[in-house]
Amino acid sequence: MNIVITGSSKGIGKALAIKFATEGHLVCLCARNEGELAATAAEIRQIHPGVVHFAADLSLAASAAGFASWLTAQRIDPDILINNAGRFRPGSIHSEEDGQLEEMIAVNLYSAYHLTRALLPAMMTKKSGHIFNMCSIASLAAYHNGGSYSISKFALMGFSKNLREELKPYNLKVTAVYPGAVYTSSWEGSGIPPSRIMEVSDVASLIYAASQLSPQACVEDIVLRPQQGDLD
């Protein structure tokens, strides 16, 4: 299968790429930073040679269209699309910087919206495929210092639910993923012990498992939290 993963140079996206490559699938990586992306692609090719990459800022509609056109030129029709590109900026609605809402919406919602729209025609024609949207527990409930980040993740949840309904007649699956705290570079130096936080491989393993079900089964929502619960 052809697996398209955005935000895949590090963190959860990289873990997903490793998981699918290990299982022998063609993995198409996309992220903003060309250097980090190329390094990740080279590392994963040591596991499986079927890895290609394309650097793009998917918060921009033109860049999302460019990535989709590149996939078409490479004759890669996605079987699985994982919209993992995203960014976290803490803040409160009343005090965060001007423009923070626009930034969070562009990175966390528009990236998924524009790329999905660009890739859907081929998937709808085939009447098969699976789309995963990386939401967050911030999509499910308001929390301290969530601000515009939480707003954008609520919006991504709404996008996922509407997409799920629209694509049922085309046999396309849509899964929204809601992780709690996952140990990535953003947690380094936080003072929180890694044993208190989930591992990126936990998320990757569940997404992979959900992708392997029969055509007549769809996991609509995946909610993961640290065993001891959310961090305060």
User: Average pLDDT in the 185-191 region?
Assistant: 71
> At a CB cut-off of 8 Å and minimum separation 6, what does 223 contact?
137, 140, 178
How far is Cα 91 from Cα 158, in angstroms, rounded to an integer?
22
pLDDT band at 192 (very low <50, low <70, confident <90, very high): confident
Tokens representing 21 are 């490559």
> At a CB cut-off of 8 Å and minimum separation 6, what does 164 contact?
174, 176, 218, 220
Give the model's pLDDT for residue 48.
Answer: 92
Pick 186 or 133 by higher pLDDT.
133
How far is Cα 4 from Cα 61, in angstroms, rounded to an integer?
17
* Residues above pLDDT 70, as percent of the chain: 98
User: For the segment 126-155, what is each residue's pLDDT rounded down to a tens digit?
Assistant: 999 999 999 999 899 988 888 999 999 999
pTM as predicted: 0.95
Is residue 180 over pLDDT 80?
yes
Nearest residue to 29 via CA among 65, 47, 69, 2: 2
Name the average pLDDT for the chain: 94
How far is Cα 5 from Cα 25, in angstroms, rounded to an integer?
12
* Domain 2-224 listed as CATH 3.30.750.24: no
**Domain map (residue ranges) of the chain:** 2-224
| Active-site residue set | 149
| Report for 136-150, 169-183, 185-199: range of highest mean pLDDT | 169-183
The amino acid occupying position 134 is M
Is residue 185 over pLDDT 80?
no
Radius of gyration of the chain (CA): 17
pLDDT band at 186 (very low <50, low <70, confident <90, very high): low
Give the model's pLDDT for residue 143.
Answer: 83
User: For the segment 62-73, what is each residue's pLDDT rounded down to a tens digit?
Assistant: 999 999 999 999
pLDDT band at 191 (very low <50, low <70, confident <90, very high): confident
Is residue 41 over pLDDT 80?
yes
Tokens representing 120 are 């859907």
Q: Which of left, alpha, beta for 24 (phi over 0: left; psi -120 to 50: alpha)?
A: left
User: Average pLDDT in the 31-59 region?
Assistant: 96
User: Average pLDDT in the 168-190 region?
Assistant: 88
Is residue 232 over pLDDT 70?
no
